[in-house]
Amino acid sequence: MKIETKQILLEFDEVGSFETPTDFDYNDLIFQIENLKLELEAIFNSEFKIDDQIQDASFICDLIIPNKLLIELVANYQHSIRFSNFGKLVTINGIENINSDNLETLRKLLKNHKFLFIEPNEIDADYDGKFDSFKTIYGERASTWFERYFDYL
């Protein structure tokens, strides 16, 4: 993991907060995601659906990436931009299957909307943050940084 990424992850790693930070504002974050969605739809001339039926998780929703942005279709897999409940962090599920020009546009728009993009391969690592109880949330199996910010708990 890059030092810069680790610093960002640690910045939002609030001890005692499993699913949301203490200053979490659901309505504000959804409003920002909906604004991003509208801009994405205008640029790509395609619908981006919001999957916000999320419970018991460290993320708020997925913004489903339309098939036309993909290199190839993958059966039973949902490519998405996933939005954490913490610090406007985002990652992209299935990033390796997104056309490089489309991916660059997605990254640019996320940055323009003040979201902090985290590379998926960097958070596929054991969680070693400051919240000791999160380290053992899964019993003997170590938790990951992906689970800390982008997964069901």
User: How high is the pLDDT of residue 140?
Assistant: 87
Which among 27, 48, 54 has a CA at the least distance from the CA of 92?
48
User: How high is the pLDDT of residue 46?
Assistant: 97
CB 149 within 8 A of CB 36: no
- Name the amino acid, one letter, at 22: T
pLDDT < 50 stretches in the chain: none
Distance, C-alpha 127 to centroid of its chain: 16
d(CA 116, CA 98): 19
Our count of domains for the chain comes to 1
User: How high is the pLDDT of residue 147?
Assistant: 98
What is the gyration radius of the CA atoms in the chain, in angstroms?
15
User: How high is the pLDDT of residue 121?
Assistant: 96
d(CA 96, CA 18): 29
User: What separation in angstroms does the CA of 115 have from each of 106, 134, 142, 149?
Assistant: 11, 24, 27, 14
Full domain range(s) for residue 42: 3-150
